[in-house]
Copies of this chain bind each other. A is one copy, B any other.
């Protein structure tokens, strides 16, 4: 069906707060509605033989938001991992664990791979991630903090913004970037299929 399948897909699930406001909720309520879409996408990725995926959880910069929002997106990350632990994935949580913003519930999965079930897909989850922290890690340790994460082929961003927002700057250098205008909680299978369709015609030269 597809002549090219991206080995590694990056996911920026943006628009949770805008979705909440437009649907009559408080801003922070949006995050809880962003958990289920992640699993719908996970199932689609398994179906299509995607080998690796990286989800943007939250960043150091996101911690500037109101406390009620911070609690909500942190809780959504914890709930996602809890649910994933009953599925089949090879989880790697990457983020700065030296900060109190890193949820202790996720410490067992931080900076090492933990296999759930049959481990059918490498699933990377950026939690309290900070691109400067990631790069600066190389100065002290000889490799960036996210060195275990491979190059991204296709990056899909929900919510209409056309930027990386600090998402894995090293792995994203050659990523083809597909923007979905819909907010993340309104995730639909068709968004993913449209991204895959579009990816078929992206010319991969890596500069050559």
Contact = CB atoms under 8 A, between A and B. Distances in A.
Report which residue of A138, A142, A166, A207 has the largest number of chain B beta carbons within 10 angstroms of its beta carbon: A207
Given A61-B206, A64-B207, A169 B170 contact: yes
A170 B135 contact: yes
Report which residue of A135, A161, A173, A178 has the largest number of chain B beta carbons within 10 angstroms of its beta carbon: A173
Interface string A46-76: 0000000000000111101100000000000
A61 B208 CA distance: 6
Interface in A86-135: 131, 135
A177 interface: yes
A205 to B, nearest CB: 8
B61 A166 contact: no
A174 B169 contact: no
Interface residues of A, number: 32
A202 interface: yes
Given A59-B207, A64-B208, A207-B62, A169 B163 contact: no
A81 interface: no
B203 A161 contact: yes
A175 interface: yes
Nearest to A18: B203
B162 A172 contact: no
A36 B91 CA distance: 51
B172 A164 contact: yes
A164 B152 CA distance: 12
Given A65-B208, A169-B172, 8 more contacts: A61-B207, A62-B208, A64-B208, A139-B139, A162-B202, A164-B175, A166-B173, A166-B207
Interface of A: 59-62, 64-65, 131, 135, 138-139, 142, 161-166, 169-170, 172-179, 202-203, 206-208
